[in-house]
Structure 1
Amino acid sequence: MTVLPDDGLSLAAEFPAATHAQWQRLVAGVLSRSGKDVPETEAEDALSTALEDGLRARPLYTAADAAPDAGLPGFAPFVRSGRAEGNTAGGWDVRQRHRTADAEAVLTDLENGVTSLWLAVGPDGVAVEELDRVLRDVYLDLAPIVLEAGPETAAAADELLSLYERRGVAPEAARGNLGADPLGTEARTGAAYDGDGFAATVALARLCAESYPGVRALTVDALPYHDAGGSAAQELGCSLATGVAYLRALTGGGLSLEQALGQLEFRYAATADQFLTIAKLRAARRLWARVAEACGAPAAGAQLQHAVTSSVMMTARDPWVNMLRTTVATLAAGVGGAESVTVQPFDHALGLPDAFARRIARNTSTILVEESHLARVIDPAGGSWYVESLTDELARAAWEFFQEIERSGGQTAALRSGLVKDRLAATWAERSKALAKRREPITGVSEFPFLAEKPVEREPAPAAPGGGLPRVRRDEAFEALRARSDAHLAATGARPRVYLAALGPAAAHTARLTFAANLFQAGGIEPVTDGSFADSGATEVCLCSSDALYEERAAAEAAEFRAAGARHVTLAGRPSAFPDADSYVFAGCDAIAVLSATLDRMGVS
């Protein structure tokens, strides 16, 4: 620890030292004035935010919030980085995914900042026989190649290794990953891998360990669990269980423990929840180091990480906002210490990306590395009391889930018994409630939607494999409502409408008028505020004002609108404000249920 010289300038020297108890007392006083009377000792809990996995983000962290020693970068438990230099030697590997046999797009990426290629191979990607053509202009001794071939892994690996040989690439010069991931494929497709499937994976790992030192054979892909709605701890727990299953298979097939550990690369989702992503990547390294230590090879427990911006967070509506989401996610992946980062194009949810979307995706990493200098510091979040605490708490929750999977017989048994599917489904059901109530806002979808937005058209992407765990997106429930509105617009020439009746002066109605307009647009319902109800083309009315004015005028206004033909009167407020309304919209209401019922009443199928 650096000791600063005594220069006679002591900041806050004339002020008494503040204590935690004093802060709690002040917080309790503020809460009391806002109508929440809580004991001083519970004031902090009142301001805490509930996270998934039973975690809570507190409003204040201090040096008293101790976490296990994170060690030094490049040394066990590898929390700070799997390498002593972290990403400071040029930044992280910018890895972009390609699902079509477009050799020109591949070359364009490599010429403009991308440093490795991730190729989806098979029916939903590039055909095995097309690999030679797709990589025709690629210097295979310079650009690492990562495969994702599912059931066709053996054939794709054979073709790639054959390409190295035909083009004169020395085995020691080859870099990348053959992408064998039988359990990840089973999670995606439901197709069970037998002993022969694992035998082929072991054979690839042995070949890489003996002849291709820069190529790994296996990927532990945690994306299927994230994409199915799993929490961060569940994603980590499944990755640990999968990694352990592969270690057992590889060591049982004749590889040493150190060789087996060196054949694995881990893939995780990076989301716009930057602190949770940072903590997840740091916790993943700590947990895998613990596995390696328990197996007897602590020095070989550095986890190689590939972070991919989340598909779950991407939206089809207002897709431009996805650029902001992926920027935050990429920042979190870099700060979290991922060695490779894939930024999914902003139009990912719409189909195949165009050239502009691919350019923005690769430039996201370039800006963060070259202009923001994000990679110049190893573990920049390290030492933050919040990040260190969150890392520790998340690691403990993930280890608990990992142990549950191991008690059930391991990852294979947990997948086939439904344990994993059921746990992920329960987590997604709870999160769906938060999304429906807009407690987890989705900008451009559940918050600040833009009904006049021109749709972004893209060429359809190859169908993703199905049959296994589901794939979810945060916007899916709102997207279904908007699709109903779009169909109504196409059939009738107009969107369903609701008339917003502002009662009293602007100071009384503006807040609730804005709230109601935002809410209805999230369901594709056009709010009308100008003119009269008779001229609005609406069949329903929503009254917007203060509780005081509702008490004075709501009954008369509702009766007048009903007499004018309004079939349904909604109140922007809680039932206590006007018990005779037909329905109510307020902060925390189930927006999906309210909007779906509204479209039903309007005859929008």
Structure 2
Amino acid sequence: MADKKERLFSDFSPVSTEQWMEKVTADLKGADYEKKLVWKTNEGFKVKPFYRQEDLEGLKTTDALPGEYPYLRGTRKNNSWMIRQEICVECPEEANAKALDILSKGIDSLSFSIKGKDLDEAYIETLLNNIHAEAVELNFSTCQRQVVKLAEILVAYFHKKDYNSKELRGSINYDFFNKMLKNGKEKGDLVQTSKALIEAIQPLPLYRVLNVNAISLNNAGAYISQELGYALAWGCEYIQQLTEIGLPASLIAKRIKFNFGISSNYFLEIAKFRAARLLWSNIVAQFKPEDLTGSACMQAHAETSTYNLTLFDAHVNLLRTQTEAMSAALAGVDSITVTPFDKTYQTPDDFSERLARNQQLLLKEESHLDKVVDPAAGSYYIENLTISIAKEAWNIFLKVQEEGGFYAAVKAGSVQQAINETGKNRHKAIAQRKEVLLGTNQYPNFTEVAGNKKPATCTCCCGGKEECEKEVEVLNFDRAASEFEALRLETETSGKRPKAFMLTIGNLAMRQARAQFACNFLACAGYEVVDNLGFSTVEEGVESAMAAKADIVVLCSSDDEYAEYAIPALKALNGRAMFIVAGAPANMDELKAAGIENFINVRSNVLDTLKAYNAELLK
């Protein structure tokens, strides 16, 4: 059998890159290779349609080993990440009961969000009662003014319980810069609070307390290279400012934790985490820490994005978060939080939280993604993506350093402006369907209604009771689907659901394609759509539309046949309903001159078009 296999493979002669390109060029039949097959990413670099072993030549990434400096291939020699769930604490007894329950259901990393005013020793004792701290990672978020107090309480509690401090893993989410980015205010003293926090947590060597919450950039719509580049500058700022007051670089770096978002760009996200570890190790090395290998080891938590979550067709969110979690798991992060699918419109319930947990358990227990370290290693494609993203992120990092560092850049608003501009561009791409959100701007569920579901709103630092006075520009956290959702909710709450009737006629293939396109287009606004098999005359189609009480009649045919059908259809309709032509025929100017105003096609701005229709139809 072995001989047969050997002969099988020997039957195939090697094919050179030149031969591949000759075949590609022939198949393109004169079309431009760059325009047709080369992908121009949002990250600023190009991706070829195929990669070969020769594309690895000169890349040092293939020399790296798992768990070894510079940590490109992971910070561990295994791939067993921790499964985290967030708990917002209103009552410590209830939070403790919930924590104990989910710890028996696969969770091994807990994250508690605690109100600063409630914090004291008894509160923590109640919250952590019967939780064996050596067996689970414990992460805490609280008011930034109370982080040092929290550290002192935790150290005292763990000492009282006689835990082995070298076995305790976790974090306190202190992040001076994230508050500026989200709330627009500079609160507290970064250097003094960080110094006091590091001193307070000193008995717990594995606790990270200086956080880089790049998840905020991700949730604001940042491109992958932006999230990574700014995150590196963010972490570097901690080291720069604290080494200036005499703290050792090694001590500081070992207390920094990176919290990244994960977008749906599957392969680029894998590459992002690989590049992040490599670049961070290089940055830390520049400070010449005493313990380079320990200091340069990035600890990275990953959380699925909220930017691309949707209110309509919300179960599609499960597919988005699943591929996102896969990216992070394959990339070798330390822990992952999967955002429950219903977070966009309500506080996640027990069912959605269970699904979120099980998404990771499936990756571990059934897909065995924890059994192989960095399976992307050696991939011609991903190794090149890793280097490309690293280069783009590094350019952003250097630009921030030229501006005086991350603090200066945030203070000046350049970080926020860059991210918000990206968010604006992505919203425009979504409006034009250049970026697709299934169930929202493409292939919506025709019969779905929101009912009582409304987009969840975040309260600001003042609890939403008064307008915050911003000292610096803030990030815009409007989700990608937000404008389409507002449009569809406007239709639903108006009580006037417009009916769109497909007047299909002429060329069978084209009329079917145009009808399908138009149905999906108009259903994005929540309109009722009525497709048809076809009519022999436009007059017959118009009368059928009127009998169906249509508010919109869409002519669906081929571009060539619109010269024959469009104007007669407009005359037959005689203003009794809105008239739309599906397509962009060559004689569009002629049709417009005859009084036809509405055309929908692949170049249309779907959002703006539907807003205009709503303004007319929902009067």
TM-score between the two structures when normalised by the length of structure 2: 0.88
1:80 match: secondary structure: coil
Partner of 2:81: 92
Name 1:128's counterpart in structure 2.
119
What secondary structure sits across from 1:393 in the alignment? helix
Counterpart pick for 1:551 among 544, 549, 563? 563
Aligned to 2:536: none
Asked if the contact 1:182/1:198 (under 8 Å) is kept, the reply is no
Aligned residue among 207, 215, 230 for 2:207 = 215
Unpaired runs of 5+ in structure 1? none
1:26 aligned onto 2:23: yes
SS in 1 for 2:70: coil
- Work out whether 1:244 is the aligned partner of 2:259: no
**2:479 is matched with which residue: 473, 479, 483?**
473
CA-to-aligned-CA distance 1:380-433 (integer Å, 9 cap, x gap): 111111101111010010010011111111111111101101111222222222
Opposite residue 471 of structure 1, the aligned amino acid is: F
Q: 1:142 aligns with which of 103, 112, 135?
A: 135
Correspondence for 1:512: 514
Aligned counterparts of 1:137 and 1:349: Cα–Cα separation in 2: 33
Once the two structures are superposed, residues 189-224 of structure 1 have per-residue CA deviations (whole angstroms, 9 ceiling, x without a partner) of 122145x3431122111333x311121222211012
Match of 1:326 in 2: 321
Mapped partners of 2:454, 2:135: distance in 1: 31
The code of the aligned residue for 1:246 comes to Y
Give the counterpart letter for 2:107 in structure 1. V
Q: Does structure 2 conserve the Cα–Cα contact (< 8 Å) formed by 1:44 and 1:59?
A: no
- 2:582 maps to 572
Counterpart amino acid of 1:29? Answer: A
* CA displacement 1:551-600 (0-9 Å, x = unmatched): 32222122212x2612x321110142544131211123211111111111
Higher alpha-carbon deviation: 383-392 or 532-541: 532-541
Q: How does 1:417-456 map to 2 (within 5 A)?
A: 417-455=412-450
Report the secondary structure of 2:238's partner residue.
helix
1:365-380 counterparts in 2 under 5 A?
A: 365-380=360-375
1:542 maps to 554
Q: Given that residues 560 and 585 in structure 2 are in contact (C-alpha distance below 8 angstroms), is that contact kept between their aligned partners in structure 1?
A: no
Structure 1 partner of 2:267 = 275
Structure 1 segment 79-478 matched on structure 2, within 5 A = 79-83=72-76, 85-87=77-79, 91-101=80-90, 102-103=94-95, 104-122=97-115, 127-128=118-119, 131-151=124-144, 152-194=146-188, 196-208=189-201, 210-297=202-289, 298-299=292-293, 300-455=295-450, 463-465=458-460, 468-478=474-484
Q: Partners of 2:53 and 2:611 in 1: how far apart?
A: 49
Residues 525-545 of structure 1, C-alpha deviation per residue, up to 9 Å, x if partnerless? 222336822133333321111
Alpha-carbon separation, structure 2, partners of 1:329 and 1:498: 36
- Specify the SS of the correspondent of 1:534: helix
Give the Cα–Cα distance (whole angstroms) in 1 for the partners of residues 27 and 250 of structure 2. Answer: 57
Q: Which amino acid aligns with 2:584?
A: R
2:601 counterpart residue number: 586
1:244-290 CA-partner distances (Å, limit 9, x unpaired): 11112333444322221111111111122210110110010011011
Could you say what secondary structure the match of 1:353 adopts? coil
Q: Which residue of 2 aligns with 1:484?
A: 490
Secondary structure of the 1:379 match is coil
User: d(CA) in 2 for partners of 1:454 and 1:485?
Assistant: 10
Task: Tell me which moved more, 249-258 or 431-440.
Answer: 249-258
- Indicate the larger mover: 396-405 or 542-551: 542-551
Conserved? CA contact 1:128–1:159, under 8 Å: no
Q: Distance in 2 between matches of 1:79 and 1:362?
A: 28
Asked if the contact 2:181/2:416 (under 8 Å) is kept, the reply is no
User: Alpha-carbon deviations, 1:61-91, whole Å to 9, x = none?
Assistant: 11222333341111222110112x131xxx2
Distance in structure 2 (CA, Å) of the matches to 1:319 and 1:159 = 41
Amino acid at match of 1:484: E
Distance 2:548 2:177 in 1: 57
Q: 2:438 is paired with a residue of what secondary structure?
A: coil
Partner of 2:537: none
Q: Which moved more, 1:130-139 or 1:358-367?
A: 130-139
Counterpart contact for 2:89–2:115, Cα < 8 Å = no
Structure-1 residue corresponding to 2:36: 46
Measured at CA, do residues 513 and 488 of structure 1 come closer, stay the same or move farther in structure 2, by a change above 3 Å? Answer: same
SS of the residue corresponding to residue 352 of structure 1 reads coil
Q: Alignment partner of 1:533: what SS?
A: helix
Asked whether the equivalents of residues 83 and 107 of structure 2 are also in contact (C-alpha less than 8 Å), the reply is yes
Aligned residue type for 2:53: A
| Residue aligned with 1:60, SS | coil
- When residues 185 and 155 of structure 1 are mapped into structure 2, their CA distance, relative to the original with a 3 A threshold, is farther
Equivalent in 68, 73, 76 of residue 69 of structure 2: 76
Shift of 1:450: 1.4
* 8 Å contact kept, 2:180–2:186: yes
CA 1:588/1:138 → structure 2, altered by over 3 Å: closer, same or farther? farther
Q: What SS does the corresponding residue of 2:370 show, helix, strand or coil?
A: helix
Instruction: Give ranges in structure 2 of 5+ residues lacking alignment.
Output: 462-469, 533-542
Task: Report the Cα offset of residue 339 of structure 1.
Answer: 0.8
Counterpart CA distance in 2 for 1:486 and 1:158 is 52
Partner Cα separation in structure 2 for residue 157 and residue 204 of structure 1:
7
Conserved? CA contact 1:27–1:44, under 8 Å: no
User: Secondary structure of 1:52's match?
Assistant: coil
Give the SS at the match of 1:308.
strand
Q: Report which stretch shifted further, 314-323 or 449-458.
A: 449-458
Range with greater deviation from structure 2 (213-222 or 379-388): 213-222
Greater mean alpha carbon deviation, residues 58-67 or residues 348-357:
58-67
Judged with a 3 Å threshold, the aligned counterparts in structure 2 of structure 1 residues 539 and 97 are, in CA distance, closer, same or farther, namely: same
Q: Report what 2:614 is aligned to.
A: 599
In structure 2, distance between residues paired with 1:524 and 1:409: 49
**Aligned residue in 1 for 2:55:** 65
For residues 3-43 of structure 1, the C-alpha deviation after alignment (integer angstroms, 9 at most, x for no partner) is xx9989354545553222232232223222xxx533xxxx2
Give the Å deviation of 1:159. 4.0
Shift of 1:546: 1.4
CA contact (8 A) 1:68 1:392 kept: no
Taking the aligned partners of 2:125 and 2:476, their CA distance within structure 1 comes to 33
Q: Distance in 2 between matches of 1:535 and 1:128?
A: 67
- Could you say if the C-alpha distance between residues 348 and 304 of structure 1 is closer, same or farther in structure 2, counting changes exceeding 3 Å? same
Q: Within 2, Cα distance between the matches of 1:413 and 1:176?
A: 30
SS in 1 for 2:546: coil
Counterpart residue type for residue 285 of structure 2: E
Q: Separation in 2 of the partners of 1:458 and 1:105?
A: 26
